[in-house]
Amino acid sequence: MLNKLIWSFFLVLLCNQNALAQLPDFTEMVKKEGGAVVNISTTQKAPAGADDLAQEPQLPEGIPPEMEELFKHFFNGQGGGYIPRETKSLGSGFIISQDGYVLTNHHVVKDADEIVVKLSDRRELLAKLIGSDARTDVAVLKVDATDLPVVDIGDPNKLQVGEWVLAIGSPFGFEQSVTAGIVSAKGRSLPGGNYVPFIQTDVAINPGNSGGPLFNMDGKVVGINSQIYSRTGGFMGLSFAIPMDIVMNVVDQIKASGKVARGWLGVQIQDVTRELAESFGMKKPQGALVSKIIAGSPSEKAGIQIGDIITEFNGQQIETSGELPPLVGMTPIGDKATVKIIRQGETKTLPVTIGLLPEEEEKVAEAKVEAKPDNRLGVSVTDLTNEQREQLQVIQNGVLVQNVVKGPGRDAGIQRGDVILRIQNNIVRDVADFDKIVKNLPVGKSIAVLIQRQGSPVFLALKIEK
């Protein structure tokens, strides 16, 4: 009996040792790479004379800078008049050249009057903002120093889902904090991040980590930690990093010209849902569905049409709409590209010359009116006046949705104020067109409807059950 217990003990010990042997050891990587990771603090001064308006409240000692700002915000909102002399923020960054180029996030240094970079050896250096790019959330700084420790840049395209990764940064101001996890997904699209295919990880990232490096197991930086998904403001297991190939493209352009130029097709796109795929006769949902063509854009000149589904760009397959903008954005202006599309069930390949992405986003408007629906969709519409066309940016065709009641239209997501432009490839010119098309719609089949909402076109899929 004793021999069995001893043997069982050795088996458990052996299994534990094997399990431990499989876990990664980050100690050497942290020793080697930690010196190139920096803490970044910024100061934004209040307008002249503002600091004389009220006396600064007494705050608890030893609280983190983020909590200090929270207290000040509370006193400003509830105490009646305190305006801070200056606001401060904290972030992270890393050194990419021995002569002092430092990378961080755009949002870390946005509107800063002063930027201080604290090195791992405790030196604090004033930094100059060379340039930043809001669309990718990347900023390039320069400090006056030489022989600095630097990181090695890795290839994020070689990352695999499930691979271990490591982050070093200053969450809540705690410098040189190390967290680790795995790659959860690649090529994630996030709101406001159309030109970045984010790397998703479960590495613990918190306020202050922004701008810090994400390392692979070879000790090379594969991304800049940028965002978290959270319902509480703290880490919930979903963090996102900007891939370094995107970052270095931005860096090279900023160092060369001080700004970033991106390729542009001039289309608005959306994902193909299962219902939309059925309405277009596709076997499975894939590609980027074109919902709008910008007048005079490269896409219009190339012959791309509303309702086309882009499935390849320059030989690279497009599974979701979020995969297209980064590919186009990184294509040099003026280059020739090929776009493979599906149009009404047929596959075509079109040549297109890449244009320059405009700086300004299109403005949107909204119109609201009322009426009582009396058709199969439960949607009442009216013809657009010239004033409404100008306000809603609808040049021609389309009818304005006045009201939506229970029925296929509401189930599909049609809302009051939408402009219906097409129904199953039929252009809706006016109310008479709309009534005729709706009357002849088939039962039990998914139907694609193109609407414009707040200036942006989008396809919806509806189905009349009976």
Candidates 215, 174, 210; CA nearest to 29 is 215
- Of 89, 92, 184, 210, the catalytic one is 210
Take residue 233 and report the two structure tokens written for it.
Answer: 């403001």
Query: How far, in Å, are 58, 288, 314, 322, 341 from residue 311 at the CA level?
Result: 60, 7, 10, 12, 6
- Of 137, 184, 239, 308, the catalytic one is 137
Alpha-carbon span 52 to 123, nearest angstrom: 33
Alpha-carbon span 307 to 310, nearest angstrom: 10
Is 137 noted as a catalytic residue in this protein? yes
Take residue 282 and report the two structure tokens written for it.
Answer: 């596709």
Is 73 noted as a catalytic residue in this protein? no
- Of 107, 120, 152, 271, the catalytic one is 107
Query: How far, in Å, are 28, 30, 81, 409 from residue 21 at the CA level?
Result: 16, 19, 59, 59
Is 202 noted as a catalytic residue in this protein? no
Sequence-separated contacts (24+) of 222-231 with Cβ below 8 Å: 222/154, 222/155, 222/156, 222/159, 222/165, 223/156, 223/199, 223/247, 224/103, 224/104, 224/105, 224/137, 224/138, 225/92, 225/167, 225/169, 226/105, 226/137, 226/198, 227/137, 227/190, 227/193, 227/198
Take residue 167 and report the two structure tokens written for it.
Answer: 């982050």
Query: How far, in Å, are 292, 316, 350, 379, 386 from residue 416 at the CA level?
Result: 20, 39, 37, 9, 19
Alpha-carbon span 43 to 248, nearest angstrom: 27
Task: Say if residues 443 and 466 touch (Cβ distance below 8 Å).
Answer: yes
**Residues belonging to the active site:** 107, 137, 210
